[in-house]
Chains A and B, each alone.
Chain A
Amino acid sequence: MVPYLVVKKLNKDFESSGESFEVFKDLNFEINSNTSTALIGESGSGKTTLIHLIAGLESPDSGTIKIGDFDIWKYSEQKRANFRLNNISIIFQQYNLIPSLNVLSNINFHSQLIKNYDQNFRDELINLLGLSKLLKKYPEEISGGQQQRVAIARAILTKPKLLLADEPTGNLDEENSTKVTNAFEILQSRYNSTIVIATHSKKLAQNLNLKLIIKNKKINKI
């Protein structure tokens, strides 16, 4: 199998109140295409930071992150943004819905932007994630769990090559978590996407192909 995501010698420090904290030291790992990976670790271990580094939202101090042939931190912000727009979908902990658009427009937005909008798949996702009654509502009018499902639908609808999800079931009950897991399975099986999920949920992690644990600034396979 060809590795799709390759992280080499990744170093990242944070500065807070004048003090420096090392998050990652010489981090190395590979993830194959068309697989699902769970990023596991304690709170504050750096799961979200790693997602941001892979997505090109936050810059590393050193090291390389390659997604396919694209060395994401080698290029300009413009090219990085363009790559992200067309290849990566991110599910954020805080959902990141666009406040001025209603639920339906939020779901459609990203896929319409990159012109791979698929109405049938959209309807399928809406039904699967139980969003059909919320379509005309605005983000501030729905609950946190509902917002999270909208964000998941938006990310999956783009059929991304790489899906990065940060605690996607953190605010969901068991029934809705199962629906989300099913949606991820559809994405991987039908559209050959590579999925990386940062999660605390053992149940979600169990169903994924690979489990990586972040501990003491390093990453290891379980």
Chain B
Amino acid sequence: MRLFDILIMCNFKHWFRKPLQLFFLFLGISLATTLWSSIQLINTQAKKSYESATLLISSNQNKIIKSVNNELIAFGSFAKLRRNKWPVTPILEGGLPNNDQIKIIGVDPFTLSKNSNFYKSFFEKKDRYQEFLINNRLAFASPETINKILKLNLNLELVKTDSLVKNLVLVDISIAENLLNKSGRITRFELTDRIPKDRKILTEIGLEIIKTKSSDDLKQLTRSFHLNLTAFGFLGFIVGLFIVYSTLNLSFEQRKSAFTTLRLMGISIKTLFLSTLLEIILLSSISGLVGVFFGHILASFLLPDVASTIGNIYGANIKDQLVFSVTEIIIALLMPIFGAILISTSFLIQIYKSEPLSNYLPFLKIYFNYYKNFTSIPIIFILVILSVIILLSPKELFLSFMLIAILILSSSLLLPLFLRLILSLINNSIKFKNPLITWFFRDTFKQIRRISLSLNALMLSIAVTIGVDNMVKSFEETFSIWLDKRLITEMYVRTNSETVAKKISMETEKEENIIDIYPIIETESYFDNSKISVVGFKPKKIYIDNWPIVHKSVDMWKKIQKFNGIIINEQFHYKFGTNIGDEIQTTDLLNNNNKLKSVVVGIYPDYGNSIPQIMISLERFKDYYSNSFPNNFAVDVKKGSFNNVSEYIQNKYDILETDIINQKTIKEFSKNVFEKTFTVTRSLSDAMIIIATLTLLTSLVSLSEIRVINLSPLWALGITRGSLLKIEFAQFLLLILITLFFAIPVGLLICFLLTNYLNISAFGWKLPFQYYPAMWGKTLFVSLICCIISIALPTFLMFKNSTSLMVKRYKNEC
């Protein structure tokens, strides 16, 4: 056996002799990797799905051409557009008549843009394009979709692909016509090049250009969502590594003498260093692999909620089943390996610097020098300066996350100082008559070092939970009130037909159950070279009484009704720095660069919208955008007459039931979206508390042997094990209570940064900061119970077996 092998075996024998340490090491790395890899899997899955979404989009990825009436387009229009040199490719899509779940997408391989991302990612591989041109019975679908359509006997030659989302089948457009029974019809056109200047032909054949979401848009829109998940996953990973830190360091401490002996025997530093490094890599790889496995399970569990959230909020369709590749496993494994090496760095450096006759810095020396250590103060000071600089900078998403990271880092550094300060104050200001009480506080002071990492993990998880929960609760209440105010009427009707819209505007007021009708019209415009949305509305009493406003000028509504006053949403306000009283000029690129000058008279909250928006009176809107018509109507109906009015509108104007929306449905849907949006965040913050208490448990169990030895002098003096158990328990409880107390302001600061910085930079709106002490109390209580369990168990076990350990400590002297 080679020397190196012997060394590795020697290192591993430690773990076999200490199975509990090995278990905790595995637990820590696996947990950390589980959290991290699950988040990474979800993010990767979403990214893949966004890319698949480009399938629906050609070169000009933001625009498609549809019928103004939202109806199928006659194939003849394709010929007309091509004759007028419009660079379009036809798409026919729809659900299979006998299986609505399966969506068929028919494309024309001859006119598809060769420059599109779709073409590049889909057809350039394995000469697929040539095959598709020759054989029009080819159908592409994901493996799971193929299994489904095999049963339908569609007479297609099925080709497996991972590029398509579930339940989607890509075929030649002629095949799609047959499958969907839509002969000679097109759902839409996609643009394969720049839009021609002359757009008359579109109006003539009843088509219009519509902006759609590209994969880049989706990535941009969901960026904050994924960043949020990544931040949580990373924080969970760090908290999980705290478990590993205490276990690894204890194992190194226990093996110091063995390392010294090996050095004295003539083993070189390099060999010793490499064998230890290899040991860390092997252990972290094995436990990391277990973590990746559980990460996959966790991701599968969370993905449907994430998919539904992203789908509801951003309109992005992501596959709710995971696809796993070897590359991803390797990438996921790199994190725990890197993390384990990072936390072992100080010990590895000690090995590298050691001399055969020098002993490493003894554990107790570090333990006792700790109370003189104030090196963290200058670091905190630097972090405070850095945060001030960031606070004075523009609100950027990355900087907002940086602020939160700085807060977390500085509070972690500050917590041990805070604990030491409180205990020093007690030690120095109160003279206890009972020496046991004096010892209690002095020893508690020393305990800080022992469990500071676990306390930090606990503080961070509680602070993050308080911060996130407080933000979510603030948002929930604000959102609920906002929703009530924003949905001014019970009924909303939409139509794509100008004729129907005009009729609704003029005639429905005559219906006895309709109190009033408020047309709403929306179009796209430009401000400061950025796209914005312009909404025309009738600023009537119902708006004046209900519409939520965050800032307004005097006589705001009058200025909108009679002058050139407009109100802007918060997204507009924060993006362009526009304030009340500012004069703005929007440009309509589609209408000969028409310019609209207006004065901002109010700012309104617009949760859920990602686009800057302005609202102007319908009269001004019509003057400016003469070729637009209202396609949405807020209908104020008499109480209890929703169904009658709905039936009346459906029958009279041939409007589908799905185009008549009940306010209650929107509210339920919105609240449901809201709940789902924060399901993952809440699950992750709850998981963090569990991991933090596990960290506490593992570090206490790991260090209990040393602790018994520390307490043995007291036992030998005659203090009973029962009393020592109570003392030990009380010490941890005291430290935990101070930590919980410390976590509250940190949590509120996190909430403040989330509502006042991150939300603005990520979503463009600011949330009111509200206090929910009862909710914090609940979090603290739950955490306290978890902590009590996690300190009671090791404390009890420690003292249950303590006699043998304490005696053993003296037996060596026999």
Contact = CB atoms under 8 A, between A and B. Distances in A.
B721 A88 contact: no
Nearest to A84: B718
B39 to A, nearest CB: 42
B446 interface: yes
Nearest to A43: B814
Interface in A105-134: 105, 108-110, 112-113
B90 to A, nearest CB: 81
Nearest to A155: B717
B386 interface: no
A108 B432 CA distance: 13
Contact of A92 (B439, B716, B718, B721): B716
A83 B718 CA distance: 7
A98 B718 contact: no
A141 B367 CA distance: 12
B813 A48 contact: yes
Nearest to B722: A78
B720 A88 contact: no
Interface in B355-411: 364-365, 367-368
A86 B716 CA distance: 12
A100 B720 contact: no
B807 A52 contact: yes
Contact of B717 (A44, A52, A105, A113): A113
Contacts of B436: 113
Contact of B435 (A44, A48, A57, A105): A105
Nearest to B715: A81
Interface in B415-465: 434-436, 438-439, 442-443, 445-446
Contacts of A48: 810-811, 813-814
Given A112-B435, A140-B365, 18 more contacts: A48-B813, A81-B720, A82-B718, A83-B718, A84-B717, A92-B810, A94-B813, A96-B716, A97-B713, A99-B364, A99-B367, A99-B710, A100-B442, A100-B443, A101-B439, A112-B434, A113-B434, A166-B813
Nearest to A112: B435
Q: Is the interface of B mostly helix, strand, loop or mixed?
A: helix
B435 A46 contact: no
Interface string B796-814: 0000000100110111011
Contact of B720 (A44, A82, A101, A105): A82
B26 to A, nearest CB: 29
Nearest to B810: A52
B716 A90 contact: yes
Interface in B677-722: 710, 712-722
Nearest to B712: A96
Nearest 7 pairs between A and B by C-beta? A85-B718, A84-B718, A96-B713, A112-B435, A100-B443, A81-B720, A93-B813
A94 B722 CA distance: 24
A61 interface: no
A105 B814 CA distance: 29
A77 interface: yes
Given A99-B368, A140-B364, A140-B368, A77 B712 contact: no
Q: Is the interface of A mostly helix, strand, loop or mixed?
A: helix
Contacts of A13: none
A77 B721 contact: yes
A58 B439 contact: no
B718 A81 contact: yes
Interface of A: 44, 46-49, 52, 55, 57-58, 77-78, 81-86, 88, 90, 92-94, 96-101, 105, 108-110, 112-113, 138, 140-141, 166
A138 B443 CA distance: 12
Contacts of B714: 98
8 contacts: A49-B811, A58-B807, A58-B810, A77-B721, A96-B712, A96-B716, A100-B442, A140-B365
Q: Which of A83, A96, A138 has the largest number of chain B CB atoms within 10 A?
A: A96
A88 B718 contact: yes
B360 to A, nearest CB: 15
A49 B714 CA distance: 19
A53 to B, nearest CB: 11
Nearest to A87: B718
Nearest to B718: A85
A112 B365 CA distance: 28
A141 B365 CA distance: 9
B716 A46 contact: no
Contacts of A108: 435
Nearest to B440: A100
A140 B715 CA distance: 20
Contact of B813 (A92, A109, A138): A92
Contacts of A81: 715, 718-721
